[in-house]
Amino acid sequence: MTTSENTPPMAAAITPQPVEYAAETPVTGKVRLEAAWGSTEGDEDFTTTASSAPKPDGQVFKPQYKQWNGQLNPRWMRNWAILRHHLLGIFKKGHRPWGMPIRLYLLVVFIASLTDVGLTLVSALIGDSGLHSIWGVSRDNLYGHVLGFFPRNMLYYPVIAALLVGGVISEDRQHGTSALYFSRPITRFDYVGMKFLSVALIQGLIILVSLSLYYFAEIAAMGRGWAWIIDTLPMFLATVFSAVLLIFTYTSIGLSLSSVSKGKFFPGIALLSIILGTKILAFIVSNLFDREILYLISPYDCLAHVGQAIIGTQPTYDQYSWTWSLASLVAMNALALYVLTTRVSSMEVTRE
């Protein structure tokens, strides 16, 4: 029997295959280099796959931008969202996180601003006319309730403005949240307007509410009639206008400082330095050289001079007319609003 006859039929059909790897490969002194990349190593072009027809085991969606054609909220609702974010944060959570020290200081200042109301009620209960002449409603007391330097315009109102404007705009520049604002259909005018109105309303809740309570406490406690109301109402309205002018000035200067900063510290300190520093400097120059010209660079003194003319109380500035103070006040607000609008117009927005 030959060898082919001894070999099983299945074994004869199997032919040996060459071995490529490991020790079974004969050593020939040559090395095979494998490419680290290639068309079959994860570098494939999947553009045709994304645009191809869906496969039976799944579905591939072609990425395509489609414009949203829904109905936007009205303009007043978008503005209200900005306003309540700042305003309601004073009273409740879920809005702008005002710090607890700021809330406590606002509460203390509001209670301290009601001291005239308490003393008016005490004088009415005691029935002392001398005490009432000191604390009752008059031109001088209405003026002092808003524009008095100590303690209101030294410890109360400028400090409140400094605390409020510290991070209203500067934090948007620091954290880039301005891009979130302007990626929505919000104009820069609405942005500035709602920020301005938020700070002004918080100040107004303290200044104007305490002033109104002071006036109406006199009517209720002393039983004033219509004749007294008719006589004193023009003085009260003039004081309200002076208070609005003070709030507007402090807010415009404070927000202009906040718009050029990226932190909370600089705007507040700069506002206090402008209001109190110019007042003290002008006071020193007036006492040393008997010149009141530097009062024109002091926001507080310009407000006080204009307020004295509007309310009709005795003026304390004799060397120049109140119209110069009014012109200086207009120039200050115009410069502050110009800086504010210029800086807000340069704030970043999202880009496609």
Quote the CA–CA distance of 107 and 112 in Å, as a whole number.
Answer: 9
For the cut 50, the answer to whether the pLDDT of residue 39 exceeds it is: no
Quote the CA–CA distance of 255 and 340 in Å, as a whole number.
Answer: 7
User: Is residue 74 reached through a cis peptide bond, with omega within 30 degrees of 0 on the bond before it?
Assistant: no
Quote the CA–CA distance of 35 and 294 in Å, as a whole number.
Answer: 81
Instruction: Give pLDDT, residue 61.
Output: 66
Q: Look at residues 234, 242, 218 and name the one whose alpha carbon lies nearest to residue 117.
A: 218
For the cut 70, the answer to whether the pLDDT of residue 270 exceeds it is: yes
Confidence of residue 36 (pLDDT cuts 50, 70, 90): very low
Lowest mean pLDDT among 6-10, 54-58, 90-94, 327-331: 6-10
Quote the CA–CA distance of 168 and 201 in Å, as a whole number.
Answer: 14
Instruction: Give pLDDT, residue 59.
Output: 65
Quote the CA–CA distance of 278 and 24 in Å, as a whole number.
Answer: 95
Instruction: Give pLDDT, residue 145.
Output: 95
Residue range 17-27: mean pLDDT, rounded: 49
* Other Cβ atoms closer than 10 A to 149: 15
Residue range 149-169: mean pLDDT, rounded: 94
For the cut 60, the answer to whether the pLDDT of residue 62 exceeds it is: yes
Q: Look at residues 119, 283, 87 and name the one whose alpha carbon lies nearest to residue 195.
A: 87
Most confident range (mean pLDDT) of 55-64, 97-106, 128-137 is 97-106
pLDDT digits (tens, 9 = 90+) for 83-119: 999 999 998 887 888 989 999 999 999 999 999 999 9
Instruction: Give pLDDT, residue 93.
Output: 84
Instruction: Compute the Cα dihedral for 157, 160, 162, 164 and give only its sign.
Output: negative
Instruction: Give pLDDT, residue 250.
Output: 97
What DSSP designation does 185 have? Answer: S
pLDDT digits (tens, 9 = 90+) for 191-221: 999 999 999 999 999 999 999 999 999 999 9
